[in-house]
Structure 1
Amino acid sequence: MDFKKLLAYQKAFDLAMNIFEISKSFPKEETYSLTDQIRRSSRSVCVNLFEAYRKRIYPKHFVSKLTDADGENSETSTWLDFALACNYISQEEHTKCSEEGKNIGKLINYMINNPGKFGVKTE
């Protein structure tokens, strides 16, 4: 199976692209802080999912990378809170992105709790 077919990856990629589009309207003074941080963390979710999938022959590495993906997903949620508090995004955008993030987190946690369903040899 190609890692790009993982539902968690697809949803994380879509959220990262949505955040990229939304963050284009952030003020210029946020370029090297909030804009950069929220883009990096949202993209990191995908990268860590890819790395987890590629390391699935090592159960502990698989879970470790998924835990990293979950952490990056949580970081993205916090940056969304800052964007809302600074009035850079609407409540509607915040709610939509936050809900997507929660769903991604659930998918990642499912993978953590069910590694055998993703090609990881469990004992």
Structure 2
Amino acid sequence: MPTVRFYQDLKVFQRSFEAAVQIYELSKSFIAKLTDSEGEVRETQTGLQFALACRYISEEQFNNLNNQYNQIIGMLGNMLSQSEKWCSFSSDNNPEEKLIWLEL
């Protein structure tokens, strides 16, 4: 068995690093993150409804925050429907499409 001088020489490190890179590649699609974000916003709105029902916040506070979150949902929806304006895709000989970020 060869002597290991650095942790990067370990097979277990190499395999786990390769797996981590694959996971990163699969999860870096920003478009998918937009739908996740919309879900989080809607979850927050539900929390606001509970806060109102339990009288932790006033109706005025609820309406103000809920309207802000409705605007955020609209903005996320616009980003999803117009993603070609702020990102592009390249296959670069890879069967999976890779996202190329453009400056916003």
Give TM-score, length-normalised by structure 2: 0.57
Q: Is the CA contact (8 Å cut-off) linking 1:70 and 1:105 kept in structure 2?
A: yes
Mapped to 2, the partners of 1:81 and 1:117 lie a distance apart of 35
Describe the superposition over 1:21-66 as per-residue Cα deviations: whole angstroms up to 9, x where unpaired.
Answer: xxxxxxxxxxxxxxxxxxxxxxxxxxxxxxxxxxxxx9x8121000
Partner of 2:88: 121
1:78 to 2:46 alignment:
yes
Give the aligned length. Answer: 65
2:57 partner letter: I
Structure 1 match to 2:32: 64
TM-score normalised over the length of structure 1: 0.49
Residue ranges of structure 1 left out of the alignment (5+ in a row): 1-57
Q: Distance in 2 between matches of 1:111 and 1:73?
A: 15
- In the alignment, which residue of structure 2 is the partner of 1:90? 58
Moved beyond 4 Å, runs of 4+: none
Q: Map 1:9-20 to 2 at 5 A.
A: none
2:68 is the alignment partner of 1:100 = yes
Identity across aligned pairs (percent)?
38
Distance 1:103 1:111 in 2: 12
**1:121 counterpart SS class:** strand
The structure that is strand-richer by fraction is: 2
Partner Cα separation in structure 2 for residue 88 and residue 99 of structure 1: 18
Superposed CA RMSD: 2.2
Take 1:122 and 1:92, find their aligned partners in 2: how far apart are those partners?
Answer: 44
Normalized per residue, which structure has more helix?
A: 1
In structure 1, C-alpha distance between the alignment counterparts of 2:65 and 2:74, rounded to whole Å: 14
With a CA cutoff of 8 Å and minimum separation of 6, indicate the structure with the bigger relative contact order. 1
